Structure 1
Amino acid sequence: MPAHRLADDPLQDARIPPTIVAGVLDIAEQRGTNTEPWLAGTGLTRGQIDLPGTRLSFRQATTILRRALRALPAGPVGMRVGTRDVLLSWGLVGFAVRSSSSGAEAMAVGVRLHQAAGSLVNYEIEYSTDEFEIRLLERSPDAELLPFLSEEACASIVALLRAAFGSQLRPKRMEFAYPAPTYADVYRRYFQCPIQFGAQHVRMWFDTELLDRPIPTANPAQFAIAVEAARQLADAEGHGPDTVAAVVGVLRENLRHPVTMAQTADRLAISERTLHRRLTEAGLKFGEIRDRVRMQRATVLLRESNIPVATVATEVGFSDSRQFRRAYQRWTGKSPSTERASARR
């Protein structure tokens, strides 16, 4: 069978769910560590990392992870993140895999949609008669981060497969493209298979029979729903360059009390002139981004709540409901009341 490969994302496009970064921050905070300094200059705050709509660029994610790993004691941080509950690590993708009918279907879904789970590496699968190989592909070579990214990816794959097939599942063998860490025994205890360090690639092998094995939790209806939801996450366009995503994050946090461009630049630790230049390079204006954020939030409130239109106006930063109505008409071509009525129909 041919290899299947997912293309890389642009490294500065903010489209990665912050699952892995949030896992590392949680581990550090359990130790009583202040993690805010690790986010300095990224345009993100700790609170934004936990918001459902937050997306990171690869550059933002690796900047935070590099700082975290330098500050934390040396150890199997990637293993700890990757062996968390699969719903934390994989989200909708994990639900889709556990609802798959067979190993082959689960593997295809996992490889195709892993980016919806916030993966920071790509995967390539090679099939042969007796076994198949999962190879990890770095999006950008980084010797400092390679052990962490490899640990997290391999451990989370095995955790997901064990959730689908049972706790006895183990790879046939594994290779890692770096010297054995001081805690290599943690790898051996968890993966329970022969491991070679200092190899050319990061790879793991499984018996081909796994592909034909039925999954006990298979559910076709749940599978279809989970795959579609994960596909939308994986295929959705990013928020553009990470500076744009950072601006969106600041505006979302301050909807009730709108901030100016100067205040936003100050929050991002850059000059207003630099912010203006970066937005111009992205083909956007600050006012356009602010209007889009307001419109999106207003639409959600109009469709999914019963609060008065005047309250919706306040929630998105308008002190005068008439100004909000005119603005919403300009943004969408519909009045707020028409939007609400059409949603109810």
Structure 2
Amino acid sequence: MKRLALWQDKCMDGQLLPLGLWQLFRLRQLDGEALLRGTGLFATDLQHPGLRVSPRQLCALLSNARKLWPGDDLAFLLGQHWLPSQSGALTNGLLCAPDLERALSFWGRYHWLSQPWLRPTRWHQDDHSHWQLQLDLGLQTHHQFLLELALSTLTATAKRLSPQPLHFHIQLPYPAPAHPHHYWKYLGPEVQFGAAMTRISLPRVELQRPLPGADLAGFQLAWRQCRQRLQAEPWQRGLPAAVLARLERPQHQGDALPQVAKDLATSPATLKRRLKAFGLAFQPLQDQARLGQALYLLSIQGAANADVARQLQFADGGNFRRSFKRWTGLLPSQFSRLT
């Protein structure tokens, strides 16, 4: 069984986001020494192909970068250049994909090799496909930045692969900024702020169009290579994602901390301590798991409040409505009218 990545574990490829940040700072002639201050990283480390960084180091690096960058477009700029910076089998698989459906499935399956701080969940509804994006590895202080990086990466990659215009609809769980032009420029015109979750949607007919660079044999080879690489990784997800995954299972949605700790082969005290290192606690993770399931049942399944309350093991519909209002600021009925 693969280990679950902890706050101090060097579980991420330093040749991706850390090196990408460093190169962008050098290109703009910004202070690279200040960028690395307090991270335990040095400029010579970033040139080493075997460099690995921990969530703690990445958190410090992002804090420095966001303070030093003269603007609010850093995440979007990084996302635009993500595909060529990947190199190797991951990029080859995307470039050889027969269609966007398989390209994005490939990215979702092997996202740990590319953006391990993400936790994407995918589902289909009628004629659209949806991806809900959450964070792993406890980088909540950079929640908005990392989500914008992921969305910029996805939209830029899809547009590069497809010669035809794509109709992305993106929902973001924070208020609209005073000057949202970066969002329209990099993510497209269909961006909705103040949503209950981060979601990107695309018509399925656009996902199924053949791509000009299609090479099925090359795609299958890249899939095998990425599978082998992922199998060789000591980690394949972080502790927060493991807790969420367990709490999202229907038979475990009401589990308390001791039950989850036992399932993860640790003690309640150790689990609390390890989550605290990520800046997390068990109850908010339990709320997050329940909210994710509630949003899916309401918006995708069209379930009634009473059915959602029962599936999420609330005592009654009133308790569910009060909890949903606390999580989202909306009653379930209000949310359903917006989706």
TM range (shorter): 0.5 to 0.7
SS at match of 2:7: coil
CA distance in 2: counterparts of 1:21 and 1:170, whole angstroms = 31
- Find 2:197's aligned residue among 194, 201, 209: 201
The answer to whether structure 1 residue 29 and structure 2 residue 49 are counterparts is no
Aligned residue number for residue 69 of structure 1: 66
1:101 CA displacement: 2.1
Identity of aligned residues (%): 24
User: AA paired with 1:134?
Assistant: W
8 Å Cα contact 2:92/2:222 also seen in 1 = yes
CA distance in 2: counterparts of 1:90 and 1:182, whole angstroms = 36
User: AA paired with 1:175?
Assistant: Q
Would you say how many aligned residue pairs link Structure 1 and Structure 2?
A: 233
The answer to whether structure 1 residue 216 and structure 2 residue 216 are counterparts is no
- The verdict on how the C-alpha distance between 1:122 and 1:106 changes in structure 2, with shifts beyond 3 A counting, is same
- The verdict on how the C-alpha distance between 1:46 and 1:167 changes in structure 2, with shifts beyond 3 A counting, is farther
1:52 CA displacement: 1.8
**Structure 1: unaligned runs, 5 residues or longer:** 1-6, 240-345
CA distance in 2: counterparts of 1:121 and 1:180, whole angstroms = 22
- The verdict on how the C-alpha distance between 1:10 and 1:210 changes in structure 2, with shifts beyond 3 A counting, is farther
Aligned residue number for residue 100 of structure 1: 97
Aligned residue number for residue 336 of structure 1: none
Aligned residue number for residue 11 of structure 1: 7
User: How big is each residue's C-alpha offset from its partner over 1:225-244, in whole Å with a ceiling of 9 and x where there is no partner?
Assistant: 322332333333349xxxxx
1:190 CA displacement: 2.5
8 Å Cα contact 2:171/2:191 also seen in 1 = yes
Q: How does 1:288-327 map to 2 (within 5 A)?
A: none
8 Å Cα contact 1:17/1:116 also seen in 2 = yes
- The verdict on how the C-alpha distance between 1:84 and 1:212 changes in structure 2, with shifts beyond 3 A counting, is same
The answer to whether structure 1 residue 60 and structure 2 residue 65 are counterparts is no
What TM-score do you get using the length of structure 1 for normalisation? Answer: 0.61
The answer to whether structure 1 residue 87 and structure 2 residue 99 are counterparts is no
The answer to whether structure 1 residue 157 and structure 2 residue 144 are counterparts is no
Aligned residue number for residue 233 of structure 2: 237
CA distance in 2: counterparts of 1:184 and 1:94, whole angstroms = 30
Aligned residue number for residue 184 of structure 2: 188
8 Å Cα contact 1:17/1:56 also seen in 2 = yes
1:161 CA displacement: 1.0
Aligned residue number for residue 170 of structure 1: 167
- The verdict on how the C-alpha distance between 1:184 and 1:119 changes in structure 2, with shifts beyond 3 A counting, is farther
User: AA paired with 1:51?
Assistant: H
SS at match of 1:47: helix
Larger Rg: 1
1:9 CA displacement: 4.0
User: How big is each residue's C-alpha offset from its partner over 1:169-198, in whole Å with a ceiling of 9 and x where there is no partner?
Assistant: 230x11112222344111112222321112
The answer to whether structure 1 residue 128 and structure 2 residue 125 are counterparts is yes
1:96 CA displacement: 0.3
User: AA paired with 2:221?
Assistant: I
CA distance in 2: counterparts of 1:111 and 1:210, whole angstroms = 18
8 Å Cα contact 1:95/1:223 also seen in 2 = yes
- The verdict on how the C-alpha distance between 1:99 and 1:141 changes in structure 2, with shifts beyond 3 A counting, is same
Aligned residue number for residue 250 of structure 2: none
1:166 CA displacement: 2.1
CA distance in 1: counterparts of 2:120 and 2:234, whole angstroms = 20
CA distance in 2: counterparts of 1:89 and 1:184, whole angstroms = 28
SS at match of 1:127: strand
CA distance in 2: counterparts of 1:142 and 1:16, whole angstroms = 13
8 Å Cα contact 2:35/2:68 also seen in 1 = no
Aligned residue number for residue 111 of structure 2: 114
